[in-house]
Structure 1
Amino acid sequence: MTEQSKSGRVRGAGSGRRRKRPAGRRKAPILISGAAAVLVLGGAGLGYVYLKLDGNLQGVDINAQLGDKRPENVDNGSLDILVLGSDSRSGDNRAYGKDEGGARSDTAMVVHVYEGHKKASVVSIPRDTLITRPSCTDGQGATVPGERRAMFNTAYEVGGPACAVKTVESMSGIRMDHYIEVDFTGFKKLIDELGGVEITTTRPIKDSKSHLDLAPGTHTLDGEQSLGLVRTRKSIGDGSDLGRIQLQQAFMKAFIDRVRSVGVLTNPAKLYGLADAATKAITPDSELDSVQKLMGFAKGLSGIGAGNVHMVTLPVEYDLRDPNRVAPLAAQSRQVWKALEKDLPIPASATKGTATGEADGVVR
């Protein structure tokens, strides 16, 4: 049975990590995962539309699918969330490519919220990272065999959200407390509801595949352009997925600033539009599959300011056998995961000298 703790953390079966109440609350709390945290801004003002918005949400019972063979819950007041951006080409997303039989995790971020919930670290996992994928159970109960030298994003493709979570837990040794998935079309509509996001480019970005053509300078991107930016890679840096991750991280910071600047607290119509778009954009785990649960979760994160989110990419190198893939640097990756497991900042040495994609500073 799922229940909400006094601290605002939604707890349920298989979830045992406690959270401490932040010392204070800010009027305009920070978003931690793209679409979902727009709900943070609403506070109790969402009460009158809970029923309508609840109908937009459909959760995934990660705990039931994974069972008990998972990393231990560490009771240190921290919180870990896997955020995936799905590249499904079905439904409205067909405009972004052919449906070839399975969605993949186009974007993957592990969000670690530190004890006290005043700061967070975000670790981006390149989708082309070669990993040993564990065997897992998909959403229909079928067993999916494990595979060596599999790309990270195939975990979602062959086994869905639970397999993606199990793969991240296998890589990191850290239990994920929550899972949130954002899809292409929902992301685009959310940006449009916000009125666009302002970014500054230091170099031209022109990518025919993502339909993006930006000159150097400041731009207010609409939903279509924003989606193009976070998907582009061939036209920036070395053309790898690592460069795209740098664009995504820069965009997320701009998105955070935009969310904080929108006066939704005094504009119920704007608030409703954002909340409607956000709840349609995401698929959360079953502990976050209602507006009430999401609000409790979001309030527990409201002490985190934009300047207290540290973003890194998992330490990798280009694979010697296939330069189109990357492989984790074992020692440095362990540094990252051990730091988060112990609720410590990620040391600078963990990411020093790693492959970057050479796109740093293209967007700010």
Structure 2
Amino acid sequence: MISTLALRPAIRIRWHWTWLTPLVLFMAIMAGTAIGETPIALDTILKVLANQLWGAGYAVDRIDAGIIWNYRLSRAILAACCGAGLALAGVVLQALLRNPLADPFLMGISAGASTGAVAVTIAGLGAGALSLSLGAFAGAGLAFGLVVMLAHAAGSGTGGGRSTQAAGAIILAGIAGSQLFNALTAFIITKSASAEQARGIMFWLMGNLSGVRWEDVGLGLPAAVAGLLVCLWYRRALDAFTFGADSAASLGISVRRVRGILIASMALVTAMMVSMVGAIGFVGLVIPHAMRFIVGSRHTRLVPASALAGAVFLIAADILSRIIVPGQVLPIGVVTALIGAPAFAVILVRGSRTK
């Protein structure tokens, strides 16, 4: 009787999260659609949605309908997908590597994906046989493989005993890998791109949602949902990995297989997002830390909370990128860095004080 009563608050909180999560996400997407240089009323957005989805036939200004459906709504949805995917990648990498600084940007995955995408689009790598997303995925996998090999070559590995030494080696390897692939990207652009292509690529590399269309949403949404489902499926394994690979193996987890699946899936999600919007930093680094302060370290709660927070964060950053400078659109990576760097500094200070 006592145990049943004790479980009721936890069950109630879980159900609250179940219905609150889609509501918060829907409100964030509506805000991303409504706010801009030309504010649009919420009822107009709902009428356009009803017309497009169910043929309701509401009388709506054609310009407003075009802005909502062809520009802002698809942009807000893809921003949510990218934010969720990058936040999930940060959660997984931090758990697997037992490193609080691990994220796709710092570990070289974003830089490698950028190099792969630029090599396919500008240098023509693959002679048309490779798609942009496949090129980005190949670059992301190559970059992360290089980081892992560098860490192992330093004699530290990626888990287990000497955690402090391992953390330092992985971070240094990630910095080296990022710089190498950023240099390769710059070399490809300088050698093969025209002046107009170079300007467009450099703007895209800092994060750009301006050219998003519904076809991109058709790629980004399944990737984000698949990444979330993989993380939820292996949430208990992620809990075990936070105590080290040996602890995970002692609990009956196939370390190599699970680690390979998680890293490959997160590399694929990151590559997919980078191929559409460019490299966006600090989402995978800051969001998991912030959510640990709120929901704790158990991945049953941390995974969905990080996905939701990442989606809302990137939608908010996209809104700021469109309104902070009148008449201009900033690269979204600039906004995430301006917000993420101070936020991460606060997290570091608070974390050191609570130890």
User: What TM-score, normalized to structure 2?
Assistant: 0.24
Q: Higher strand proportion, which one?
A: 1
Q: Considering only CA atoms, is the larger Rg found in Structure 1 or Structure 2?
A: 2
More helix by share: 2
